[in-house]
């Protein structure tokens, strides 16, 4: 067991195997299981979408709830551990999870046949449409504002001290805007199926 848990890759594979086992046992006991049809395909896309969304918004909230407020409390000589090691890794998963969430979300809406109706905010797809537009703005912010400015702030792209400080501030404020947007975004995202609007 420790051999599995000491490796992140093996842990993820073990989680997938556990899921398959649970599905097989539940189907065997109840006689009810997934039908491998279009509806199931759309469901799997929804599952992948929620998983990427959790990774994306989880890291956004990690930055805003944990990392940014903790930075002033960390002694200067220890700050490079965050700036040079933790933040670049967190930003790697953050931006690719954002892209994966957008792609799986757009595919999901396409598979469910309402992408145009949702993006043009037609009733009854207006809730998911608003959620999608909010999330698209957030993903734009990640790729075209936060990431380019973080590259300067973290020294991945070398710039003068004043520009570096300005980039760090822009990245932080845009990250705050995304945290603000994440609250109505998530409400709208889950409202469509569950009577929230």
In this structure, what DSSP letter does residue 25 have?
A: H
Using the rule CB under 6 A, is 94 a contact of ligand HEM? no
Query: Given candidates 11, 120, 122, 193, which one binds ligand HEM under the rule CB under 6 A?
Result: 193
Residue of minimal Cβ distance to ligand HEM: 105
Using the rule CB under 6 A, is 194 a contact of ligand HEM? yes
Using the rule CB under 6 A, is 188 a contact of ligand HEM? no
Contacts with ligand HEM, 138-167, as mask; x by CB under 6 A:
-x----------------------------
User: Residue 101, exposed/middle/buried by CB under 10 A (0-12, 13-18, 19+)?
Assistant: buried
Only one residue has tokens 């995202």, namely 189
Q: Please enumerate in sequence order all residues whose Cβ is within 8 A of that of 132, keeping only pairs 6 or more positions apart, or say none.
A: 105, 106, 109, 118, 119, 189
Among the listed ranges 2-10, 47-55, 73-81, 162-170, the one in contact with ligand HEM (CB under 6 A) is 47-55
Candidates 193, 186, 188, 190; CA nearest to 56 is 186
Query: Given candidates 59, 91, 100, 102, which one binds ligand HEM under the rule CB under 6 A?
Result: 102
Using the rule CB under 6 A, is 170 a contact of ligand HEM? no
Is there a contact between 155 and 168 (Cβ–Cβ < 8 Å)? no
Q: Alpha-carbon dihedral of residues 56, 60, 66, 70, nearest 10 degrees?
A: 130
d(CA 197, CA 191) in angstroms, rounded, equals: 6
Least distance from C-beta 59 to ligand HEM, angstroms?
A: 11
Each residue of 144-155: b (16+ CB within 10 Å) or e? ebbbebbbbbbe
Using the rule CB under 6 A, is 99 a contact of ligand HEM? no
Using the rule CB under 6 A, is 91 a contact of ligand HEM? no
Least distance from C-beta 109 to ligand HEM, angstroms?
A: 4
Query: Given candidates 63, 105, 129, 147, which one binds ligand HEM under the rule CB under 6 A?
Result: 105
> Residues interacting with ligand HEM, by CB under 6 A?
46, 49-50, 53-54, 56-57, 101-102, 105-106, 108-109, 112, 128, 132, 135-136, 139, 186, 189-190, 192-194
């Amino acid at each position: 067991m420790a051999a599995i848990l000491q490796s992140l890759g093996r842990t993820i594979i073990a989680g997938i195997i556990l899921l398959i086992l649970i599905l097989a046992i539940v189907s065997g006991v109840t006689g009810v299981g997934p039908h491998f049809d279009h509806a199931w395909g759309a469901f799997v896309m929804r599952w992948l979408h929620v998983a990427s969304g959790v990774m994306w918004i989880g890291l956004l909230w990690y930055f805003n709830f944990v990392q940014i407020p903790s930075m002033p409390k960390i002694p200067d000589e220890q700050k490079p551990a965050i700036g040079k090691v933790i933040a670049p890794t967190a930003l790697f998963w953050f931006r690719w999870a954002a892209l994966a969430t957008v792609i799986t979300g757009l595919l999901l809406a396409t598979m469910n046949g309402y992408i145009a109706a949702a993006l043009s905010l037609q009733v009854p797809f207006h809730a998911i449409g608003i959620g999608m537009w909010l999330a698209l703005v957030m993903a734009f912010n990640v790729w075209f504002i936060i990431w380019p400015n973080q590259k300067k702030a973290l020294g991945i792209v070398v710039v003068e001290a004043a520009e570096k400080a300005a980039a760090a501030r822009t990245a932080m404020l845009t990250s705050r805007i995304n945290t603000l947007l994440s609250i109505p975004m998530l409400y709208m995202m889950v409202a469509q199926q569950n009577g929230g609007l």
